[in-house]
Amino acid sequence: MHSDIRLIKYSLTACLILYSVVSKAQESFIIPELTFSTFNMSQLKAFQGDYISQSGLPLRTVTLFPPYWGYNISAGLRKNRRSSFGLIFGSTSTGGRDDYEDYSGSARADFLLSSFSIGTFHQIKINHSNSWPLYFSYSASWIRTKMIVNEYFTLRSQNQTNQTLFYSNNYGIRPSLVFRKIMNRFYFQTSVGYEFQFTGKLNVSQKGGGYLQNFSGEKITAQWGGLRLSMGLGILLNKKLSE
Partner 1 sequence: MKKVGIKFIIFLGFVAGCTFTPKDKFINPIKQPPNTIKVVVDIQDPNFQDPYPLVAQTTFNFTIDSVSNPIIDNQVLLDGNPLTGVIVSGRKLSFSLNPNTIADGNHTVKIQVKLDTKSGSLADLLGAEYYGVEKDFTVIVDKVLPDPTASLTFAMENGYLTLNWGKLNKTNFYYTIVHNSANLSGDTIILDPTITKFIDYGYVGGTIDYTVYVNNTTGSKQIGNGNYYLKPIALNFSDDSDFSEIISWNNIQINSQNVSIRIEGNNTIKNWTRVVPITQSLISGDTLVMGDKDAIKLTIQRNGFKQYQFDSLVTFTSNGNFSPFQEIVSTTQPKLFTLKGDIKRVGFPVFSKEDSLSGHFYVSIAIQAMVISNDGQTGMVLDNLQKFYKFNPNDFSQFSSYPLNYQGPFPGGGSLNISTGYNANNISSISVNQLAGINYVVNLNPTDIFNYQPRNTAGILDIASGKIVWSDTTNNSSPLISSDGNYFVMDDSAQTHGLIYKNNSGSWNFLGKVPSGTKYFRNNSSTELLVVTSTNISVFDLTKPVDNNKNFSFVRTFSINQNSTVANVGYDELSQNIYIEYLNSTNIGSNKISSIKVYGIQNFNYQGSGDAILNGANGPHIYVNGYHFLGIGYANKIR
**Binding region for partner 1 (CB under 8 A):** 32-34, 57-60, 62-63, 66, 68-71, 91, 93-97, 99-107, 110, 112-114, 155-156, 183-184, 186, 232-233, 235
Residue number, 105 or 200, with CB nearest to partner 1: 105
Q: How far apart are CA 149 and CA 3, in angstroms?
A: 18
CB 212 within 8 A of CB 168: no
Q: How far is the CB of 193 from partner 1 (least distance, A)?
A: 18
Residue number, 97 or 144, with CB nearest to partner 1: 97
Q: How far is the CB of 32 from partner 1 (least distance, A)?
A: 5
Q: How far is the CB of 46 from partner 1 (least distance, A)?
A: 18
Residue number, 69 or 198, with CB nearest to partner 1: 69
Picking from 48, 127, 63, the residue whose alpha carbon sits closest to that of residue 95 is: 63
Asked whether the CA dihedral 237, 13, 34, 79 is positive or negative, the reply is: positive
Residue number, 157 or 216, with CB nearest to partner 1: 157
Side-chain half-sphere CA neighbours of 114 within 13 A: 8
Question: Hey, what's the torsion of the CAs at 11, 92, 110, 49, to 10 degrees?
Answer: -120
Residue number, 140 or 155, with CB nearest to partner 1: 155
Residue number, 58 or 175, with CB nearest to partner 1: 58
Q: How far is the CB of 93 from partner 1 (least distance, A)?
A: 4
